[in-house]
Amino acid sequence: MSKVRAIWQASLTATKRALSWNVDDMFPPSERFIYNFKSKEELKKWHLYSDSEYGGLSSAALEITDAGNEQSGGTGVFSGNLSLDVTDGTKWNISRSGFCGMRSKKFDGFIDLDPYDTIALKIRGDGRSYISTIYTENWVNSPGQMEDNSWQAFVSVPKHDWVVAKIPLAHYLPTWRGNVIEADIEMNPSRVVGMSFSVNAEGGVPGAQTGPGDFRLEIDWIKALRTQ
């Protein structure tokens, strides 16, 4: 009798686990961490780029704050200097300089953000506006067109104070090498392959600081939210 009871209990436990898994699939949590910036290990998931790769003179760094501790961790600091100048004699015929960025390394597969409608960023800045980019799997399956789709939105970051900026996924526009494109396409949030932040010396939202010079963006975390 005890053996029968044990088999029944094991079957019941397995059924509960299966039901729990299905419920999670049907009703995912209202928020999902995508990145945090609590340790140097987390920063290794990102790499830097700037106009210096094409003859420009801008520079960027990504570091962890010293304020972190073993309990709470630190925050990431994306900082550097934006320059409109170019190196003398450069072989690159660049049309503009004065940009820097930090891009995540590709996920091992895809991140499915289909259950969510908003990207939330806990950030502290310098009065400049930054560009938040989401990369999704390319819609063109061609050997000559292998770049990821990119979707961009401006985020204005006030000076000094921590804010949680919320950007609806619907506000991200399709872009091609930094320029908004006129295309009748929609983001596929179930096939996200990476993200980035970038900053330009020129352009941005009205009222934001612009021009060459130093920049500094402090990042605590990035989440996906379901607000509806």
58-67, 83-92, 212-221: segment of lowest average pLDDT: 83-92
Q: Is there a domain that residue 22 lies in?
A: no
Structure tokens at 4: 């029968």
pLDDT at position 141: 47
Least confident of 37-46, 74-83, 89-98, 195-204: 89-98
Q: What is the span of the domain harbouring residue 118?
A: 30-225
Q: Is residue 34 part of a domain?
A: yes
Residue 134 is assigned to a structural domain of this protein: yes
Is the pLDDT at 6 greater than 50? The verdict is no
How many structural domains does the chain have? 1
Q: Cα angle at 123 between 118 and 127, to 5 degrees?
A: 110
Q: pLDDT-derived band of residue 19, with 50, 70 and 90 as boundaries? A: very low
* pLDDT at residue number 91: 66
Whole-prediction pTM value? 0.80
Q: What is the CATH number of the domain that holds 93?
A: 2.60.120.430
Rounded average pLDDT over 141-168? 82
